[in-house]
Structure 1
Amino acid sequence: MSLFRLRRLFNPRSGRALDVAVDHGFFGEPSFLTGIEDMPAVVRTLVQANPDAVQLTMGQAHHLQSVPGKDKPALVMRTDVANVYGNPLDEHLFSHHVPTAIENAVRLDAVAVCANLMQLPGRPDIREANIRSLMALREQATRYGMPLMIEPLVMQDNAKAGGYMVDGDTARITTLVRQAVELGADLIKADPTDDITDYPKVIRVAGGVPVLVRGGGRVDDETLLTRTVAVLDAGASGIVYGRNIIQHDDPAGITAALMAVLHDGVGVQDALTRLRERTV
């Protein structure tokens, strides 16, 4: 039954998906709010840009789902909250999932739910908490036919990195992606590797589970589009970008450029030209 919902996530022409993540407010970090302070306005902009999906929390999903008509992005719902992104870190770290997340997702007509599988240096307790959450979510997701997107997140030491920074080590990413598959992921939301030519290894270890690639921190347009083409060529089934869209000077324009790359096979330079022409 979960496949029925997934058919609304992936574009029928390309079989790929662009999911715009705007669930950052769930994590209680001031810097994460840049660009999403006015959520009704953000969602209106994204609905007009019409990516394949928008990733929201249960408290913000109504902004999308109250839009009339069927021609709007699908909802992917974030189901867990943690305090692992600050600098300095809180003395007590936690990661919890919403106990009624799957029922809420069904009521809100989501096409999938998303939850973390984090590897933090020296904090195996957080990984254990994630695993417990994922096992509980998997049981409920199976019962209700709700696809489960697991987000393997390998993080650098907070003190060394100066805050929330991912670790692009290929071996660490592939190991955590494989654990996500073993835990029953219907979808994987994974970081790009530092060496992007290694990304076929991530796809291979996922064993046929669709991989959507995370966007991470802000980069320039050419870097973003070049990386997008590279992961798609490696076999990724789509992308989940947040800050690179919502903090962009032209969120609708970069969305259109990315959609052209995903669904029409447009190259980097062509996508850049289309984006720049919007500002002329």
Structure 2
Amino acid sequence: MTLYRLNRLFNPRSGRALDVAVDHGFFGERSFLTGIENMDAVVSTLVDAGPDAVQLTIGQARRLQSVPGKQKPGLVLRTDIANVYGNPLDAQLFSIHVPHAIEEAVRLDAVAVCVNLMELPGHPEVREANIRSILELRREATRYGMPLMIEPLVMQDNSTAGGYMVDGDIDKIVTLVRQGVELGADLIKADPSTDLGEYGRVIEVAGDVPVLVRGGGRVDDRTLLERTVAVLAAGARGIVYGRNIVQHENPAGITAALLAVLHDGADVEQGLAILAESDASHADASRAGASHADASLAGRNGASA
């Protein structure tokens, strides 16, 4: 079946995509809210920055889809909720998907939906719940022609690494990615591996299913761009970054750098130069705004004297 909605996800020039994940509030963890407290401001910034897609929840998707015009980023709708990111873990773990999630995605004009497939050490019941959700979503996604992005997430033990920490073992990643493909993924959102030189194995095992690589925890700009260049060279069709963009001091600048790497073939140094230029422009604008405010205040004070 042809999934026409993906034409709005992948850039027609490069065939690649940058999806910015801003769905962290779904999971009920306070630390996940840093940088995304004001969602109107976050979405506005991202729309101006122009990634290919923004990943949002059912409660926040309207903030993107209410923006007028045809040029805004596509919507990727997060469909499942889990409580597996705390440290310590809750006594009872769960993972559930939104009822009628695919119908909601159609109504919201999403380009795809995203669902987890998690390997959490010592908790096979979470993976079972994920598989049940995936099978239900796959049935409805087929009915409505909605692309299904499966996110194989290989996690370290929370007691030693804390919530949401990636286990970069390539063998574990390859195994879980292949299970996602077997379950009917139209897209795979995969972990980066510790040794990026081996990432071609992930692309190989996914076959003709496009792989987008998730960002994981916050890293410095050079590391982020080096990782991006490496996974694209291995054959990845895009990236799904969240905190490395929305918690960045210059979200628009890092987005511009990443888009240049994805769609224009920029290398790491060129990406860093784009970011530096954006930083300088941002600083100039801030200084100009401060000078204007000082002049206005001086004028008011003079008028009052």
TM-score, structure 2 normalization: 0.91
Per the alignment, residue 97 of structure 1 pairs with 97
Matched, 1:239 2:239: yes
**Deviation of the 1:279 alpha carbon:** 2.1
> Which amino acid in the other structure matches residue 121 of structure 1?
P
User: How far apart, CA to CA, are the structure 2 residues paired with 1:55 and 1:97?
Assistant: 16
Q: Distance in 2 between matches of 1:146 and 1:162?
A: 34
Structure 1 position 160, deviation (Å):
1.4
Amino acid corresponding to residue 33 of structure 1 in structure 2: L
1:117 matched residue in structure 2: 117
Q: Distance in 1 between matches of 2:5 and 2:163?
A: 36
Amino acid at match of 1:192: P
- How do residues 140-151 of structure 1 correspond to structure 2 at under 5 angstroms? 140-151=140-151
TM superposition shift of 1:3 = 1.8
1:173 maps to what in 2?
173
In structure 2, list runs of 5 or more residues that go unmatched. Answer: 281-305
Count of aligned positions: 280
Q: Helix, strand or coil for the counterpart of 1:279? A: helix
In structure 1, C-alpha distance between the alignment counterparts of 2:23 and 2:97, rounded to whole Å: 14
Q: Distance in 2 between matches of 1:98 and 1:225?
A: 34
Question: 2:186 touches 2:210 (CA, 8 Å); kept in 1?
Answer: yes
Query: How far is the alpha carbon of 1:86 from its aligned partner?
Result: 0.4
CA distance in 2, matches of 1:259, 1:218: 18
Q: Secondary structure at the match of 2:54?
A: strand
8 A contact 2:84–2:163 mirrored in 1: no
Partner of 1:264: 264
Work out the CA distance in 1 between the residues paired with 2:279 and 2:56.
29
Q: C-alpha distance in 2, partners of 1:119/1:245? A: 25
Alpha-carbon displacement from aligned partner over 1:243-272 (angstroms, at most 9, x marks no partner):
000000000000000000000001100110
1:119-177 deviations in Å (ceiling 9; x for gaps): 01111100000000000000000000000000000111111113321110000000000
Q: Which moved further from structure 2: 1-10 or 22-31? A: 1-10
Determine which structure has more spread, i.e. the larger CA radius of gyration.
2
Q: Please name the residue that 1:56 is paired with.
A: 56
Residue-by-residue CA offset, 1:82-107 (whole Å, 9 max, x unaligned): 00000111111000001110000000
Question: What are structure 1's unaligned runs of at least 5 residues?
Answer: none
What do the CA deviations read for 1:206-256 (whole angstroms, capped 9, x no partner)?
011000000011100000000000000000000000000000000000000
Confirm whether residue 134 of structure 1 aligns to residue 134 of structure 2.
yes
Deviation at 1:2, TM superposition (A): 5.1
Matched, 1:81 2:77: no
Higher normalized helix content (fraction of residues)? 2
Q: List 4+ stretches of structure 1 deviating above 4 A.
A: none
Contact 1:2 1:146 in 2 (8 A): no
Q: Which moved more, 1:160-169 or 1:93-102?
A: 160-169
Q: Which residue of the partner structure matches residue 154 of structure 1? A: 154
TM (normalized to structure 1)? 0.99
Match of 2:252 in 1: 252
Task: Measure, in 1, the Cα distance between the counterparts of 2:115 and 2:93.
Answer: 17
Q: Which has the higher contact order (CA 8 A, sep 6+)?
A: 1
Letter in 2 for 1:80: D
Distance 2:91 2:274 in 1: 48
What residue is the counterpart of 1:219 in the other structure? 219
Is the Cα–Cα contact under 8 Å of residues 177 and 202 in structure 1 kept in the other structure?
A: yes
- Asked whether the 8 Å contact 2:21–2:54 carries over to 1, the reply is yes
Matched, 1:70 2:63: no
State the AA in 2 paired with 1:205.
Answer: V
